[in-house]
Amino acid sequence: MTANQSPFHSLQHAEARARFDLLAVDAYDVALDLASDEATFRSVTTIRFTSRGGPTFLDLKPARVNEIRFNGSPLDADLLERGRLPLETVEGANELVVDAVMRFRNDGEGLHRSVDPADGRHYVYGMCFMDAAPSIFACFDQPDLKAPYTFHVTAPADWVVVGNAPGSNPEPGVWELEQTQPLSTYFVTLVAGPYHLIRDEHDGIPLGLSSRASIAKDLDADAHELFTMTKQCFDEFHRLFGIRYPFGEYHQAFVPEFNAGAMENPGCVTFRDPLIFSSRVTRGVRIARATTVAHEMAHQWFGNIVTPKWWDDLWLNESFAEYMGNRVTADVTEYDDAWTHNAYARRQWGLVADQRPSTHAVAGNGAVDATAALQDFDGISYAKGSSILKQLNATLGDEVFFAGAIDHFTRHRFGNATMHDLFASWEQAGAGDLSAFTSSWLRTAGPDTIVLDRAAGTVRRTPPAGHPADRPHTLRVATAAPEGKWEVSTLTVDSPETALDVAEGRAVVLDPYEDTWALVQPDATTVAALKSLLPATDETRLRAGVWNNVRSAFHNAAIDPADVIDLLEAGLPVEDSDDAVFYTMPWAITKVAPLTADPAAALRRINTAALAKVGDSVPGSTLQLSAFQAAVSSATDAGQLRSWLDGRVLPDGVEVDLDLRWRILVQLAVLGETDRDELGAALEAEPTARSRVEHTRATASLPDAEAKAWAWARFTGEVDVPNYELEAAGAGLWRTGQEHLTDEYVDRYFADVPRTVEVRSGWVLAEAAQFFFPATSLTEETLAKARALIDLDGLDASIQRRVVDLTDELERRLAIRRAYPAR
């Protein structure tokens, strides 16, 4: 059997090299008409380029072509095949004009068009990463064919248009944008609609914020914090790099139904608009927004001034921005605990990805085409790469580290470069020979495992299977006797065995401060001791390190789920970080409790601990909020949920806003204690974008056959919904305890998922494969079916990659169940 073929070619690295050798793109001129139709838009692209002469191809993904003229002569549009138009270029100057009609999209890519349910207004934004630009304008779509862009936009008269360069509005509905600096195709964006705009200025840089009109008051409330962080970050990046931001205005657009956290488009960064807070959020959620703002600002230098030549160096963009985003947030904003947030929010993302069968080197990951590269846009590219750059900075020191970065930006200004170029700049700045570092840390996949052999008095370092390495690690070790005080020492692990004498019964936590990148986990003696130590551990970062040790052990079936629940009960009363509650409690509810001997009892214990934390927290604090969120998500008492929803019995300091209201309704749906009428009435009462997504989640969560069929119709594409609703439908479909309703969808998933290439593409194709994977079907039979799907001939590469990772997760969960069977 052969799975269905993707409708478009994915650019091969060899093809990109050949096209780069042939062409130099001089300029793009793009005219878009966004006013004439709600389903499509006209796109007229003029490309001026110089060629050495010979055959190549243009990238174009239209609904239809009106006309193509190449060097003044018409070109047959029927030559277009799977997104490529062959061209026979002449030596010297060439001009190509493509007049086409393009489709608005609803999957977060291309030119995405969204209708706000709150007021019926339409909003548009462009997302050209990774290969979506040709669905907006004709182009040579690869990162190293940079060129300046000029945009002319016709839009409804009440719309505003923002792009990569400043623009003017000479008459109603007409927008003329200035020519940009040279940009890669994947950086091009356009944000258009009846957006609410706020302007400011800092150090000669015009600043802007925008959001949908229906959340204007929320943007107004957040604007001071957003502008303050932006200004603080600009000052720090200018200080560190000594190179001013070069892209004119700096606009931050919060747009609907955005797939990623944000996209670093020069001059106009796009963010997912749930980052404008319409309900109360925890401090950790605000830190996440702050680090995202700083991350995208770091990209203006690393990524935008200098762009990777090919996707296999994309880690340079993301690892550098991840490291700098956390560092700058912690150093110059009010969120000086950003590294603690990072420990809870990002560390396991990277470590788990690095242990998958799909693990890959941070650098030089062999991305043969754009589709393959997208699959490696993961926790390794972000969290692991960031950790390794942090280690490198600690070794080199700021003077050498930033001198090398500045040299890199200067040498390749507005151009493209490779990892070799960057490391050459560091070596020239005084780093010495970095080849051993590069080989061990960046070109070798997988984490070393570092564990304590208590009986032998040694710490053992084991490289990942199949990826031999000899990596030295310098890390801190925290030790304590039960009910004693923690002592912290530094240990260098540079051989397979390193001596470490530990007194009998003492707890040992390896690398609690994330000094290195390694898989560390507590032994049985430590786990036992932690049950009395955690309540007396008053250092937030150390507790974060403990929980990362515990989570790694759980992932590897090296700790009893019952012990995890014990540790949660022990540590929660003293926890002062809402990040700890926000990230640890949902993991315990969804991952740990179902694998205990008595899942219902474990859930009740989690709920009791969460409620106790609500009562012990300062009323109105974000710590209390995070505990209350956990209490709702773990609740099994419908009467209690109803009392909260009605506002009759609420803890002092808790107010049920939109977010909490839907959180309660979703949990009532899971329990079968609400119905479609109540959910529909809640949506009608507050018809916001958030409500629509949560209504989908709640409806799919109802424990009846109709709800599951309703969700499945969204997966197959029978019912077309935007990306956020698609994700919510998948999350609601697979609920622990509803296996009698979802068992029939296990086989249907494996039969239907290969055919989803017919209804979606790009980012959302792989995301949907993940959202709807039968994660609650913990059986050997499901595991066998997943393995068979992986081997299916012709299965789309992005679907295959997700299924490989999900199959590994299923296998690990089954391993936990085997290791700790119900007693």
Is pLDDT of 368 > 80?
no
Task: Identify the pLDDT of residue 372.
Answer: 72
- CA-closest candidate to residue 577, choices 339, 340, 330: 340
Is residue 373's pLDDT more than 80?
Answer: no
Q: Taking a C-beta distance cutoff of 8 angstroms, is the pair 78, 118 a contact? A: no
- Mean pLDDT over 8-24 rounds to 93
SS (H, E, C) 523-548: CHHHHHHHHHHHHHCCCHHHHHHHHH
Each domain of the chain, given as residue ranges in start order, spans: 13-310, 322-442, 449-465+474-516+521-559
- pLDDT over 70 for what percent of the chain? 99
Instruction: Inform me whether the pLDDT recorded for 1 exceeds 50.
Output: no
Least confident interval from 22-26, 240-244, 257-261, 675-679: 257-261
User: What is the second-level CATH architecture of the domain 322-442?
Assistant: Orthogonal Bundle (1.10)
The DSSP H or E segment spanning 631 is helix 622-633
What is the helix (H) or strand (E) element at residue 297, kind and residue range?
Answer: helix 283-299
Place of tokens 């068992």: 743
pTM as predicted: 0.96
Q: Would you place residue 366 in the very low, low, confident or very high pLDDT band (cuts 50, 70, 90)?
A: low
In this structure, what token pair is assigned to residue 553? 């052990």
Give the dihedral sign, CA 632/638/640/643: positive
CA distances from 766 to 415, 538, 723, 758, 800 (A): 31, 42, 12, 13, 8
Q: Taking a C-beta distance cutoff of 8 angstroms, is the pair 676, 703 a contact?
A: no
Domain at 13-310, CATH from 1.25.40.10, 3.40.190.10, 2.60.40.1730, 3.30.70.100:
2.60.40.1730
In this predicted structure, what is the pLDDT of residue 628?
98
Confidence band for 363, pLDDT divided at 50, 70 and 90: confident
CA 458 to chain centre: 38
Range 495-512 average pLDDT: 95
Alpha carbons 733 and 715: distance in angstroms, whole number: 10
Residue 404 scores a pLDDT above 80: yes
Mean pLDDT of the chain: 95
Cα dihedral: 792, 797, 803, 806 (round 10): 150
| Catalytic residue check, 296 | yes
Predicted pLDDT of residue 2? 37
Q: What is the DSSP string of 377-442?
A: -SHIIIIIHHHHHHHHHHHH-HHHHHHHHHHHHHHTTTEEE-HHHHHHHHIIIII---HHHIIIII
Band (pLDDT 50/70/90 cuts) for residue 32 is: very high
- pLDDT exceeds 70 at position 6: no
The mean per-residue pLDDT over the stretch 606-625 comes to 98
In this prediction, residue 823 carries a pLDDT of 55
Each residue of 76-114: pLDDT tens digit?
A: 999 999 999 999 999 999 999 999 999 999 999 999 999
Rounded to whole angstroms, the maximal C-alpha distance in the chain is 85
Residue 365 banded pLDDT, cuts 50, 70, 90: low
* Torsion 263-265-266-271 (CA) sign: negative
Residue pLDDT, tens place only, 700-752: 999 999 999 999 999 999 999 999 999 999 999 999 999 999 999 999 999 99
Q: How far apart are CA 712 and CA 703, in angstroms?
A: 14
Structure tokens at 132: 């979506």
Which pLDDT score, from 0 to 100, does residue 28 have? Answer: 98
pLDDT digits (tens, 9 = 90+) for 517-562: 999 999 999 999 999 999 999 999 999 999 999 999 999 999 999 9
Q: Name the strands in the sheet holding 23-33, side by side, starting at the edge strand that comes first in the sequence.
A: 73-74, 64-70, 92-103, 40-51, 23-33, 149-154, 174-177, 167-171
| Peptide bond before residue 130 is cis, with ω within 30 degrees of 0 | yes
Lowest mean pLDDT among 112-116, 371-375, 660-664: 371-375
Per-residue pLDDT of 767-816, as tens digits, reads 999 999 999 999 999 999 999 999 999 999 899 999 999 999 999 999 99
The least confident of 301-315, 359-373, 374-388, 631-645 is 359-373
Q: pLDDT tier at 482 (50, 70, 90 boundaries)?
A: confident
Considering 249, 257, 264, 296, which one is annotated as catalytic? 296
Retrieve residue 604's tokens.
Answer: 């009740």
- Residue 558 to residue 562: CA distance in whole angstroms: 12
SS3 content of the chain, % helix, strand, coil (to 5): 45, 20, 30
Instruction: For residues 556 and 9, give the distance between their C-alpha atoms in angstroms, rounded to a whole number.
Output: 39
Identify which has the larger pLDDT, 249 or 374.
249
